[in-house]
Amino acid sequence: QIRVLTGITPSGTPHLGNYVGAIRPAIAASRAPGVESFYFLADYHALVKVQEPERVQRSTLEIAAAWLACGLEPDHVRFYRQSDIPEATELTWLLTCVAGKGLLNRAHAYKAAVDRNREGGEDDDAGITAGLFMYPVLMAADILLFNAHKVPVGRDQVQHIEMARDFAQRFNHLYGDHFTLPEAAIEEQVATLPGLDGRKMSKSYDNTIPLFAPPAQLKKLIFSIVTDSRAPGEPKDTEGSALFQLYQAFASAEETQAMRAAYADGIGWGDAKQELFERVDAEVAPLREKYEALVAHPQRIEQQLRDGAQALRTQYATPFLRELRAAVGLRELG
């Protein structure tokens, strides 16, 4: 049995990057034989970025509905909300005490925040919370709590998984073999999906295409993707083209080959955008309908999430934390 685990932070509306980087490959993986899947909403992580309670709740509902609309089967997949499993925070402390501070200093998100402060002439850590700094330890706890083998993610999360391996190794070295060392699973051609401006599609860059945007908005957004100024008839580069990379994430290998040829032949940007719109809409339209039906019944989703977490606590989290507490020398809980 291989254990596959991944999470999405409910800090906004699910976007195409979440879909191609995490949801789509994770659901495909959950259908393979011999796989046990753990998919969750990382709402403790959301607090690092979002301090608006309603937004966290709305986003939790939307991302849960997105998972279900995209085909997650709650009877076959462990589906839960991180904060319903408080053992994750207790494990975070146990890992904090073996996590190298120097390693955390090198985490991309933290370093980027420090760099921004330096550029602005501020103190290195101005406005940076300990939550942002500790983010990788909390994420390691998510993964190690269930001894996951594989973690399907986009490229931006790989460093976090390497850190989880490092913390697990140190813990195992000190206290015996308790943790499986996890591995990142990345789909190469969609490792980083670009957003409207060509940078990584991300809520923080405000360049996302919502996964379930209505067709008119989807089309409008796709037509606003940056391109160079080459006219129809002039050959176009596929290399470094956000439009082409997006197309590739939604097309078969043959369609991608054909589009590559069309670029060389000088397809106009308007036509290339129309083709992308049609391709994305064809894939997303049936999911969008399911999504609309699901978000209309938040209580049903709420119940599924609670049931998922309760079963996991009883079967894994509580007994595992008992084992770990004993291993480090803490009192056995009654």
Can you give the binding site for ligand TYM, defined by CB under 6 A? 5-9, 17-18, 21-22, 42, 45, 139, 142-143, 151, 153-154, 156-157, 190, 192-193, 200-202
Taking the complex as a whole, the smallest distance from the CB of residue 198 to ligand TYM amounts, in Å, to: 11
Give the sheet arrangement for strand 183-185, strand by strand: 77-81, 35-41, 2-8, 150-152, 183-185
Nearer to ligand TYM, 262 or 280 (CB): 280
Q: Which residue minimizes CB distance to ligand TYM? A: 21
C-alpha to C-alpha distances, 196 to 14, 15, 230, 246, 269, nearest whole angstrom? 15, 12, 18, 10, 14
Taking the complex as a whole, the smallest distance from the CB of residue 334 to ligand TYM amounts, in Å, to: 30
Taking the complex as a whole, the smallest distance from the CB of residue 294 to ligand TYM amounts, in Å, to: 19
Six token digits for residue 136: 């990788």
The answer to whether the annotation marks 241 as part of a ligand binding site is no
Nearer to ligand TYM, 85 or 324 (CB): 85
The answer to whether the annotation marks 91 as part of a ligand binding site is no
The answer to whether the annotation marks 199 as part of a ligand binding site is no
Taking the complex as a whole, the smallest distance from the CB of residue 179 to ligand TYM amounts, in Å, to: 14
Nearer to ligand TYM, 66 or 98 (CB): 66
Nearer to ligand TYM, 200 or 288 (CB): 200
Cα–Cα distance for residue pair 320/182, rounded to 1 Å? 17
The answer to whether the annotation marks 83 as part of a ligand binding site is no
CB-CB contact of 226 with 197 (8 Å): yes
How many C-beta neighbours within 10 Å does residue 153 have?
A: 22
Nearer to ligand TYM, 170 or 200 (CB): 200
Nearer to ligand TYM, 150 or 273 (CB): 150
Taking the complex as a whole, the smallest distance from the CB of residue 11 to ligand TYM amounts, in Å, to: 7
Taking the complex as a whole, the smallest distance from the CB of residue 25 to ligand TYM amounts, in Å, to: 9
Residues 6+ apart with CB under 8 A from 23: 8, 14, 66, 67, 70
The answer to whether the annotation marks 136 as part of a ligand binding site is no
Q: How far is CA 223 from the centre of its chain?
A: 25
The answer to whether the annotation marks 17 as part of a ligand binding site is yes
Cα–Cα distance for residue pair 255/251, rounded to 1 Å? 6
The answer to whether the annotation marks 270 as part of a ligand binding site is no
Cα–Cα distance for residue pair 322/178, rounded to 1 Å? 12
The answer to whether the annotation marks 9 as part of a ligand binding site is yes
CB-CB contact of 41 with 61 (8 Å): no
How many C-beta neighbours within 10 Å does residue 65 have?
A: 23
Taking the complex as a whole, the smallest distance from the CB of residue 333 to ligand TYM amounts, in Å, to: 25
DSSP state of 315: I
Annotated binding site for ATP: 9-11, 17-18, 154-156, 193, 200-204
Annotated binding site: 9-11, 17-18, 142, 154-156, 193, 200-204
Annotated binding site for L-tryptophan: 142
